[in-house]
Copies of this chain bind each other. A is one copy, B any other.
């Protein structure tokens, strides 16, 4: 049986090969995007889990939009306006997939930061979108280039991660946020704001979301994978009701609805009085690890490497002297460090030479040791 056309656009995932190799206990993995298991708030989940079987309705078919009480809680938490809706999804990844399926025809233009989140490229390739890359600078996209891009391509969507970007860790300053929202409004481009790392700020002030400046021209993807648990697979997508309704219809065909007991577990966690402190603890843990990695990476500056400081999230982007990053990543793996080479985060075009380094799932000692191992290879570049 022949595969459907979109498969011709799917590449085998290099990141999977690396993650597989990173299982080796002798390898220090900075390649994944995993939270630290020890942060999972199982103690805060317990009271809800203990009560789970007392509500039989959680085990029955439920509404596609999500468990009513969780939807209500999230509406309030995110202060959604009356005419907006929220749909609970199986992770924010599903939210993005639903957006792509509901709105993108083959050949429709979608603007993506370059580099960009791999999972977004995968989903957009599968619906055969025409991806238009826009270079990501330290302050986000160049606004003139973005405007030209909007004028020239009339894209349907602009997908971005303005807070603690994957893979670069960077955040857009306030001025960029306001300006991008203005451009999206002017050119009627829907802004898809993916915000999985937003709660993981460990320094500096929280900035308003881009979508807060163009609420009726935006769809927002939320994840609970970084502050609760990725294995539970609960996310949400919100925006104007007339854009969420089609997503609900697609989701109905896709899986009827997401698991209800899990949604109830998440609600119990979010309502637990200890939840805010839990998030603060996670941020503090990651701040410490980031500091260790950042300091260690300074030693690589003599070899022409550089990292832009970040204020939160899970990743550091180490730019390198120009090189074949795939080959470098393989050599590093042989030396016992798993990293992700920058090339995988670009769609087609050649990007800057860099490595994505994750610091949330390694001890300070491992982070230092990893950089020592990297130095041995990179000094030879």
Identify the A interface with B (CB < 8 A).
1-7, 10, 13, 32, 34-35, 37-38, 40, 42-43, 45-46, 49-50, 52-53, 56-62, 89-91, 93-94, 97, 101-105, 119, 122-123, 126-127, 156-157, 188, 190, 225, 229-234, 243, 246, 249-250, 252-262, 265
Contact = CB atoms under 8 A, between A and B. Distances in A.
Contacts of A246: 3, 7
Contact of A90 (B57, B90, B190, B252): B90
Contacts of A94: 254-255
The 7 A-B residue pairs with the shortest CB-CB distance, nearest first, are A59-B229, A42-B53, A231-B260, A90-B255, A94-B255, A37-B56, A40-B59
A60 B34 contact: yes
B230 A59 contact: yes
Which of A225, A259, A265: most chain B Cβ within 10 A?
A259
A4 B230 contact: no
Interface on chain A toward B: helix, strand, loop, or mixed SS? helix
A259 B90 contact: yes
A127 to B, nearest CB: 8
Contact of A260 (B1, B37, B62, B232): B232
A233 B256 contact: yes
B249 A261 contact: no
A10 B32 CA distance: 39
A256 B90 CA distance: 9
Given A3-B246, A60-B230, A60-B231, 12 more contacts: A2-B156, A34-B60, A37-B60, A40-B59, A42-B56, A61-B225, A93-B255, A122-B252, A123-B253, A231-B260, A232-B261, A261-B265
A250 B42 contact: no
20 contacts: A1-B188, A1-B190, A2-B103, A3-B103, A37-B57, A40-B56, A42-B56, A42-B59, A49-B52, A49-B53, A60-B229, A61-B230, A90-B90, A123-B253, A232-B261, A233-B257, A258-B259, A259-B259, A261-B262, A262-B262
A101 B4 contact: yes
Counted per complex, copies of this chain come to 2
Contacts of A13: 252
A246 B4 CA distance: 10
A231 B259 CA distance: 6
Contacts of A2: 103, 156
A70 to B, nearest CB: 13
Contact of A249 (B10, B50, B53, B97): B10
A104 B59 contact: no
A243 to B, nearest CB: 7
A114 to B, nearest CB: 19
Nearest to A62: B231
A103 B42 CA distance: 40
A342 to B, nearest CB: 21
A225 B61 CA distance: 9
A37 B53 contact: no
